[in-house]
Structure 1
């Protein structure tokens, strides 16, 4: 049974991270972040600067989210409020990074559409990457909100 974030001073560890509302979002963040990374990496990287930024954000957030998941799963956080505040800070930062990457990716997709390349696989992959990127941004924002609610309960 999923518990809410209203437990006072409680940071889950072990398998309990898959039963609390903010922490259950780690897996979808990893899955959809990996999809964004795969889709952008499989397209034509033109123009290179925005696409490289999107790939960098996706790699950074994927690795740090996985490490953050492992910290909570292994119980290394020792149930301290500093970990709760760090959780809020990281997810807010990741949401901001993904939002900027999503906007740049949408701009690149519009740029490709203006070149009359709408029927190409590159355009279709970019559209899918934009959708998954904004969805991943939404997941990070929701995780930030629920982590902030949990942080306030400390």
Structure 2
């Protein structure tokens, strides 16, 4: 796999985008972010406020990452250092958003876990919601990790400009 570690001032375009680190993380971030969105949206959104924030963060980061991928794939960035700076800032912000959403989602999963442990007879809907929230928490933290790793590698590339 090619890396741009030895090249200074290089921002890939086109197909080269999928062969360089950190840009290879775009697709994985989109897939895992989409999984988090699907898992959270398939549950009963209760309590509304934290779950609504998680939905907002997943949609915002999904669209932001997709648009950023399009900008880099089409070559609109013209290989300028300001785009490398914006890339670090964009993914750093997404990392913070996903971390906050992941923590809130873990809180909701604990809430549903407590509901399932209170009674020996638990409705199947609560158990299913609990399991979906646990899966969403795992993928949300993995997506957070991907955004953090992308931020670190983008910062290393930014330093080379």
TM-score, normalised to structure 2's length?
0.93
Which residue of the other structure, out of 115, 126, 129, is the alignment partner of 2:133? Answer: 126
Specify the SS of the correspondent of 2:79.
Answer: coil
* Rounded Cα–Cα distance in structure 2 between residues aligned with 1:78 and 1:50: 39
Aligned equivalent of 1:44: 44
The offset of 1:4, in angstroms, is 3.7
1:109-148 to 2 correspondence within 5 Å? 109-116=109-116, 120-148=127-155
* Rounded Cα–Cα distance in structure 1 between residues aligned with 2:90 and 2:47: 29
* Rounded Cα–Cα distance in structure 1 between residues aligned with 2:27 and 2:146: 10
* Rounded Cα–Cα distance in structure 1 between residues aligned with 2:53 and 2:36: 12
* Rounded Cα–Cα distance in structure 2 between residues aligned with 1:3 and 1:26: 15
Specify the SS of the correspondent of 2:96.
Answer: helix
Q: Which stretches in structure 1 are left out of the alignment for 5+ residues? A: none
1:73-152 to 2 correspondence within 5 Å? 73-116=73-116, 120-152=127-159
Specify the SS of the correspondent of 1:135.
Answer: helix
Specify the SS of the correspondent of 1:44.
Answer: coil
**Are 1:22 and 1:146, in contact at CA under 8 Å, matched by a contact in 2?**
yes
**Are 1:5 and 1:146, in contact at CA under 8 Å, matched by a contact in 2?**
no
Q: Which stretches in structure 2 are left out of the alignment for 5+ residues? A: none
Aligned equivalent of 1:63: 63
The number of residue pairs the alignment matches comes to: 154
